[in-house]
Structure 1
């Protein structure tokens, strides 16, 4: 089955699609968004099986139930007692959720955070990973719940108390950082085997570098492994090769640019580090069965 192209899912896109950005379930501005119940989002905003590229970072606080979510090509399970931090420009796809699933979510543009010492505090907190899933203790869960409740209550005031929300958000992020550093804290990555950890780190690298780096050796060097061993690990964990994953990432980037930007074909070829537009067009057709021009018009 042909994969769908990721659609942009930024705060500005959401503002343009909904009539009332402020309701009993959401508060949306151009650089900050708060959804008090993800199950009450309009159906046209989040469709199952459709990949979306999120422009801003996300913090999802899982209230109940479970959901299967793909983030940058890897599937994870969200469940009650977790909080998820997702890096800006990630590609997400909702695959399935239980009937009782619900979560609160914040979308945060770096400009909204009143921190000048770090270019992007969320990226800092993620330690340059694309995703962080944290299992919360009962006490930590209650603390996060109180942060969300207070922020939501303040957002119901007639005048948006921007500075109050900004500093509460920073306090929340620093509190999460303390959770991560605490010795008793269990982070999702800690449950991975060594091979699974290599696979996760490899995918993170592919999402960062695939625009310019497309050799097995590059990623093997980054991971301090031999190319042969890296290929073996990736194949055992995903039934695909290193080059399969690189190609998927490149095609995904190309599809986003073709559908969601004003760039011309030769500019996209240059952006993706192809030697010339002709080479890019042949590569794209070989991988998708259609030319970039035909895909753009479809």
Structure 2
């Protein structure tokens, strides 16, 4: 399988105040478990800190700036080449909300020892299979191990997602709106739906969003919807009519017009570009 390159999977430790090489941030999906110290960075223009016992994940080509490690840092870093990971993604519908949650919330607090062991064990298992090049079924075994790794990560993301849902139930209107959008934008794309659930007017909801992020409620809805559409279109097990039905569009033609509006191309053209 040509998708496997000699550096498709890189595993190493960071000790002391260092920087990740630029090529890693551009070509690789990066997973880091922080044993001690602190990692500071800005992600999508928001500042974050990852501390001991926490896990951070960045997609390749993320808007990542200001990455620094504290002097006492000890962290395990797993880098997986973008094309190789993307080629082996299981059915994304299984955990689409958890996956998108990780895009918006890159730092996960691993609340128990089992989660920490699972993350580090999966790092090592994937890297070990990658190094086992004399295996008779190397390509097949590595592909399966990659899928297991992804499913285990989705399990961790899903636990964090559910925990965050519970803690936000008593949060501010803005926090609750963001959670509602993540949960319902597959089928609900009107500001009035969310305003009604929050018992406020659509105008007031837009005001709240602008105050918090300088982005309107409708723009937030469209952003989350766009992410889901891209992920579903990347799943070639689904035809376009199925995706339109799953997202509650009245017809395939209406779905096509909506996709062209937010992506600039039709669903068919998007898939053709994927190859």
- CA RMSD, Structure 1 to Structure 2 (Å): 4.7
Name the residue aligned to 1:170: 147
Taking a change above 3 Å as real, the CA distance of residues 221 and 105 of structure 1, as seen in their structure-2 partners, is farther
- TM-score normalised by L of structure 2: 0.51
Report the count of equivalent residues: 203
Counterpart of 1:197 (choices 165, 175, 178) is 175
Taking a change above 3 Å as real, the CA distance of residues 143 and 203 of structure 1, as seen in their structure-2 partners, is same
Q: Which runs of 5+ in 1 are unaligned?
A: 1-11, 13-20, 47-51, 209-217, 250-269, 275-298
Taking a change above 3 Å as real, the CA distance of residues 171 and 45 of structure 1, as seen in their structure-2 partners, is closer
Once residues 131 and 100 of structure 1 are traced to their aligned partners in structure 2, the CA distance between those partners, rounded to angstroms, is 27
Higher fraction of helix: 2
Q: How does 1:206-217 map to 2 (within 5 A)?
A: none
Name the residue aligned to 1:232: 207
Taking a change above 3 Å as real, the CA distance of residues 40 and 84 of structure 1, as seen in their structure-2 partners, is closer
Taking a change above 3 Å as real, the CA distance of residues 37 and 153 of structure 1, as seen in their structure-2 partners, is same
Structure 1 residue 153 displacement after superposition: 2.9
- TM-score normalised by L of structure 1: 0.48
The 3-state SS of whatever aligns with 1:100 is coil
Name the residue aligned to 1:83: 55
Name the residue aligned to 1:220: 191
The 3-state SS of whatever aligns with 2:131 is coil
Aligned 8 A contact 2:165 2:179 in 1: no
Is structure 2 residue 132 aligned with structure 1 residue 154? no
Aligned 8 A contact 2:39 2:69 in 1: yes
- Please say which of residues 125-134 and 227-236 is displaced more in the overlay: 125-134
Once residues 48 and 150 of structure 2 are traced to their aligned partners in structure 1, the CA distance between those partners, rounded to angstroms, is 22
Q: Which runs of 5+ in 2 are unaligned?
A: 224-259, 265-275
